Amino acid sequence: MPNLNRITVLGAGVLGGQIAWHSAFKGKSVVAYDISADAIERVRAVHDTYEAIYRGEVGVSDSDVAGTRTRLTYSTDLQAAVADADLVIEAVPEVPDTKTAVYTQLSTLLPEHTIVATNSSTFLPRDFAEATGRPAKYCALHFANMIWAMNLAEIMAHPGTSRETLTDVTRFAIEIGMVPIPVGGEQNGYVINSWVVPLLNAGQTLVTNGIATAQDIDRTFMANGARFGPMGMLDIIGMKTAYDVLAYWGERGDDAQMVANAGYLKEHFLDRGRLGVATGAGYYDYPDPAYQAADFLDVPDLSVVDDLVELIALD
């Protein structure tokens, strides 16, 4: 059975950068590819941040870090980036035309044995299978954000995916320390985003319509023991990905509220460079967001009553 040891990650954004770093940390030889030299410089800087996170939260050693960096390279040359790949993981923006264009270009460059997997969070692999030029060697492999802690990998087939491909991809997920989540049918949103996207959209609706603040929405969620709420989750996922998902599905589903929510994200975050954790600012400011403060869920002082009434009163 072939081993998937040489990995290329297409797209050096939030999750692409995490997949590349973590796969190298787990012993794979990884090329992080992006069309933009600026994106490559950003992901290099982000990988410095991941080094600190892995030292603090995962407990890695100096030799672990050195090995990770030795196995990790960067490229803006697609042909060179995939020339020796056993597995290509596509992590480009959640825009169908963008993904199709990447697959069409990729199809003429890949070695015959290479498997291709999409990290799409909402689209079906059947949407792009033919564009890959190798539908039997194509499936979905969707990772969760904060991959070092949320070590889940959703695996979904399309009707033409071979069992051999699914076997190899599932083995790969386990080899890099993921808990495989088998998706037993074609489902937009897979398992995680089938409930996450409605949750985030509901939270954003409350903000867009002026019903509640981001912090209060998160308080209602975190009161049950969660580490962060829907709006903090938006920051972690990244505002660009959230915007792409809400804009696409809002238009496709003729959902005026979802379209309005996408517009709110564009006006208040994308246009202002507040893209979430990756840029240090979204609904919260990082590295010390308010929801991590020890008093975030404390009963407030009576001095805030008048301020709260201003938010409630309808006159």
End-to-end CA distance of the chain: 70
Residue with tokens 């940390």: 25
Q: Residue 2 above 80 pLDDT?
A: no
CA distance 183 to 89: 18
Mean pLDDT of 45-71: 94
Mean pLDDT of 143-171: 95
Cβ within 8 Å of residue 217, ≥6 positions away: 203, 206, 207, 229, 230, 231
223 in Cβ contact with 297 (< 8 Å): yes
Return the percentage of the chain with pLDDT > 70, whole number.
99
pLDDT digits (tens, 9 = 90+) for 183-209: 999 999 899 999 999 999 999 999 999
Alpha carbon separation from 234 to 15, 47, 102, 199, 231 (Å, rounded): 13, 21, 26, 10, 5
Question: Which domains, ranges and CATH numbers included, belong to the chain?
Answer: 6-182 (3.40.50.720), 192-312 (1.10.1040.10)
CA distance 207 to 311: 13
Q: Residue 20 above 60 pLDDT?
A: yes
* Residue 116: per-residue pLDDT: 98
E strands, 148-300, where? 152-156, 179-182
Mean pLDDT of 125-152: 95
Question: What value does the mean pLDDT of the chain take?
Answer: 95
CA distance 73 to 26: 15
Q: Residue 73 above 70 pLDDT?
A: yes
Mean pLDDT of 211-225: 96
pLDDT digits (tens, 9 = 90+) for 230-258: 999 999 999 999 999 999 999 999 999 99
Mean pLDDT of 90-95: 91
* Residue 231: per-residue pLDDT: 98
Q: Residue 1 above 60 pLDDT?
A: no
